[in-house]
Amino acid sequence: MTLPPSGAPLRDALLSPRSIPAEVRKRMSPDHFITVQPRQIPEREADGWVIDKRNKRSARMRKPKLHDVAFEDRVWAAFAKLNFTSLNKDRDFALRFGNDARETQQVNVFAADDEVVLVIICRSSETVRTGQFRKELETVQTQRPGFLKEIKKDFPYHKVKFILATNNFGVTQPTAERIEQADVIHMDEDVIDYYIGLADHLGRAARYQLLGNLFHGTKIPNLDPEVVAIEAHMGGHKYYSFSIEPERLLKLAYILHRNKANSTLMPTYQRLIKKTRLKGVAQFVDDGGYFPNSLILSLDSVGRGLKFEPFPKHAGETRAGVLHLPQTFRAAYVIDGQHRLYGYADSSRAATDLIPVIAFVNLERPDQVRLFMQINENQQAVPKNLRNTLNADLLYDSKDLREQIRALKLHIAQQLGEDKSSPLYGRIQIGESPKTALRCLTIDAISRGIERGGFLGSFAKTEVKEVGSFYRGSNDATAGPLIAYLTLGLTYLRDGLDTQFKLGSAEGGFVFINNGIESLIRILGDIAEHLTRENGYNPRESAPQELFDAARPYMDPLISHLASLDSAQGLEFRQMYGSGAGTKYWRRVQQAISIACPDFMPAGLAEYLESEEKQFNDESRDMVAALGLFMKGDIRKRLENEYGSTWRKDGVPRRIMIEAGKLAVEKNADLDADHELEAWDCLYVVDYRAIMTQSQDLWKRLFEKQYTRPGDEDKPGGWRARSDWIQRLNDLRNDVMHERTVTSEDHDFLVTLTTWLIKGQADNDL
């Protein structure tokens, strides 16, 4: 163990600050590196080393680090990047906890700066599993007094925190409570990666985020709390307007990034800071620029009112005076302006500039989220996935039952993506996580599966209209059992469809995509309802494991069916598009189970099988033809009225006319001269959409009034989205031309279009 000689300072076992940058580069690498003589290469290769680079007289070789070494090194590097300047030299560092020289305990990472000491225990698993950490917690609890005594010899005035850093461990609620009771901070690999990324973006300022987490509510040394402020009210909330130096505010500020590092502070709402914007702000400030618009904060008075000393005179309800800011870490939550604030982090003007602030007092988290979303509605649109993540928190305790249930569905979807024990861990796009071939599932798809699976029921604003199979009277009572049942069922399906699971949305993958996962969740709901109806189970009372055990015989034929499909059949599932695609996918897999288990006949399946007989196809074919004929004539007339004799050249994209012309030549080769077609006769429905949406100006002048469906006037996505229905019409045209089944839903869509576009036009002509 690396331990200073008896009586020597603890600092003797720490790395020199000037050696830290090189050590960070070494620790961040996933590989070990060595330089060897050429004659040593075969021996090293036999031990798993590979050549990284050949030199004239030597070779550099590399070998992957073991998982525990790699994780410990990343933890060490994370705190080095966060500007902790006193760090242990190696993995053998140990702390004394008693008078006897043998009373020592290995500590994986020791990190200190001018104010804080962190003692970090690292635990890593090669595969995901649940951790208890009893030994580690008992060690900290029993040896803490000795550790503190030893640390205080070299760091007498420092705050000390103990951290348990874990990799690939799921933590149950009881374990999380034990960690908290032991006064230990838990950080998993996601949190460590968050701080590494934040340090790369923010530099020194990232340290304030860490301190806000570790020391929330504790006093910041030597902070001047006074500012001259105006007190007023807005929207039923008290606020203060003042100016403050960025250097002071940085110590108080905390940003609720939508990240697992802040998962205990729900709801979190901020996007991660963008490095490019931060650099731009910093350069702007250093060049003499300034921001006249105010930062928006929520001040946390930690259960006490803020001290405000008004000046003698005031006007109406508005008062000026001296405001005493909270002097604690994480006392000011930044709702808007994080880039403006952190742009000052490395600026020489951070101590002298004054930035304007609007600070509300003790805003509840949902109110912060609402304000954040309102501000961003008029700036950068909040992406749908992030809105879903925010609403899972914002609406969870709503007085409107419909909003509560919406939040419950989103919450369950989020948990399935973030809980390490879930088979969908890391596979769901949460917040602003990017889409990949494996992380291809949306919260929307999971939420739809839960809603349509009959788990929760239907609700009015203040009452339950129909109780779902799993609903136990409240969100909190329902979430745990339903998540447990879905986790068991989806894990079984994942294991049985391992090849598909590994593909995700990559080529050949057709199960663990949005339509597929929605259908699998709905099937788990169908099975639960079937067992309730036929076998007397009650999911609202039965243990999830008991229900799952009874459900497995119905999942086996589903696994066999999906695993047996060839690439062409799989492609048919994968290419189910449109609003009815999820239902179509679901009915197909229902049918597969029903064939193997004749007693399994969910509601509506028989009717669906009848519709498979293509009862709607003939009528749908006629409506598609009529709609196409109407659009062909109407769009041409509008172009002729606008451009006259040059309507083809000026009104139709060149690419479309060339392709249509080629098709006309091919068709005319088999036609009499009297029946030859012109290029305009050879356009497809989707071509009409391309013509109409060449530009926003053309759409508004010639087509918007006629071709915007009733109810789509304010459709999200802008003007172009109002023509989305044409794409669906084109897809249905392809279905009827290729004798594919037209569902009742698609048939209803065509009836609606025909009534609106053709019959409505005829009525207008009268």
Give percent of the chain with pLDDT exceeding 90.
48
| Interhelix angle 617-643/744-753, nearest 10 degrees | 30
Which pLDDT band holds residue 346 (cuts at 50, 70, 90)? low
pTM over 0.85: no
Measure the CA–CA gap between 617 and 621, rounded to whole angstroms: 6
Q: Residue 269: what pLDDT?
A: 43
Q: What is residue 766's predicted lDDT score, i.e. its pLDDT?
A: 30
DSSP-assigned letter for residue 646: G
Phi, psi of 356, rounded to the nearest 5 degrees: -75, 145
Single-letter amino acid code for the residue at 257? H
Sign of torsion over alpha carbons 408, 424, 382, 575: negative
User: Which one is predicted more confidently, 238 or 273?
Assistant: 238
Which helix (H) or strand (E) element contains residue 514? Answer: helix 514-535
What average pLDDT score do residues 494-498 get?
A: 95
Percent of the chain clearing pLDDT 70 (strictly above): 87
Closest Cα partner for 546 from 534, 555, 537?
A: 537
pLDDT score recorded for residue 171: 87
Type and span of the H or E element at 730? helix 724-737
pLDDT digit string, tens, across residues 529-538? 999 999 989 9
Helix axes 544-564, 475-496, angle to 10 degrees: 40
pLDDT of residue 459: 92
149 CB-near residues (< 8 Å, 6+ apart)? none
Beta-bridge partners for 297: 334, 359
Task: Supply the pLDDT for residue 81.
Answer: 93
pLDDT (0 to 100) of residue 266: 39
For domain 10-30+65-202, give the CATH number.
3.40.1350.10
- Per mean pLDDT, which range of 113-127, 689-703, 747-761 is the poorest? 747-761
In whole angstroms, give the CA distance from residue 118 to residue 228.
37
pLDDT for the residue numbered 765: 41
pLDDT band at 2 (very low <50, low <70, confident <90, very high): low
State how far the Cα of 126 lies from the Cα of 124, in Å rounded to an integer: 7
| Structure confidence at residue 456 (pLDDT) | 94
pLDDT of residue 336: 78
Tokens linked to 567: 């690439």
Q: Which of 167-181, 205-219, 285-299 has the highest mean pLDDT?
A: 167-181
CB 687 within 8 A of CB 656: yes
Q: What confidence score (pLDDT) does residue 206 get?
A: 79
Q: How confident is the model at residue 276 (pLDDT cuts 50, 70, 90)?
A: very low
Q: Burial level of 745, CB count in 10 A (0-12/13-18/19+)? A: middle
Across 93-114, average pLDDT? 89
Closest CA to 158 of 168, 166, 150: 150
Find the helix or strand (DSSP H, E) in which 233 lies.
strand 226-234
Quick: pLDDT tens for 575-624: 887 777 888 899 989 999 999 999 999 988 877 776 665 667 778 888 99
Whether residue 267 is preceded by a cis peptide bond, meaning omega within 30 degrees of 0, is yes
Q: Please give the pLDDT value at position 267.
A: 45
Alpha carbon separation from 252 to 230, 339, 649, 713, 765 (Å, rounded) = 20, 16, 64, 46, 68
Amino acid 496: pLDDT: 96
Q: How confident is the model at residue 760 (pLDDT cuts 50, 70, 90)?
A: low
Segment holding 466, helix H or strand E: strand 464-467
| Mean pLDDT of the region 692-715 | 89
Q: How far is the C-alpha of 491 from the C-alpha of 386, rounded, in Å? A: 26
Q: Which residues, 6+ apart, have CB-to-CB distance to 646 below 8 Å?
A: none
The mean per-residue pLDDT over the stretch 108-113 comes to 94
Please give the pLDDT value at position 4. 54
- Of the listed ranges 128-132, 159-163, 304-308, the one predicted with least confidence: 304-308
Is residue 514 over pLDDT 70? yes
- Top mean pLDDT of 213-217, 338-342, 725-729 is at 725-729
Residue 274 has pLDDT above 70, yes or no: no
Q: How confident is the model at residue 261 (pLDDT cuts 50, 70, 90)?
A: very low
Q: Tell me, what DSSP letter sits at residue 133?
A: -
Structural contact between residues 722 and 689, judged by C-beta atoms closer than 8 angstroms:
no
Angstrom distance (rounded) from CA 425 to CA 416: 6
Tokens 């149950």 found at:
172
Domain ranges of the chain: 10-30+65-202, 217-380, 385-611, 617-765
CA distance 722 to 735: 23
- Across the chain, mean pLDDT equals 85
Collapsing DSSP states into helix, strand and coil, what is residue 86?
strand
Q: Write the DSSP string, 698-718.
A: HIIIIIHHHHSPTT-TT-TT-
- Mean local confidence (pLDDT), 567-581: 83
- Count, residues in the chain: 766
Is 574 or 741 the better-scoring residue by pLDDT?
Answer: 574
146-203 pLDDT, tens digit each: 999 999 999 998 999 999 999 999 888 889 899 999 999 999 998 898 888 888 877 7
Rounded CA separation 460/399 (Å): 11
CA separation for the pair 460, 458 (Å, rounded): 7
Residues with Cβ within 8 Å of residue 395, at least 6 apart in sequence: 403, 404, 406, 407
Those residues with Cβ within 8 angstroms of residue 127's Cβ, 6 or more apart along the chain or in another chain:
168
- Residue 227 contacts residue 244 (beta carbons within 8 Å): yes
pLDDT at 270: 47
Tokens 């880039």 belong to: 339
The span from the CA of 540 to the CA of 482, in Å, is 9
Mean pLDDT of 718-742: 87
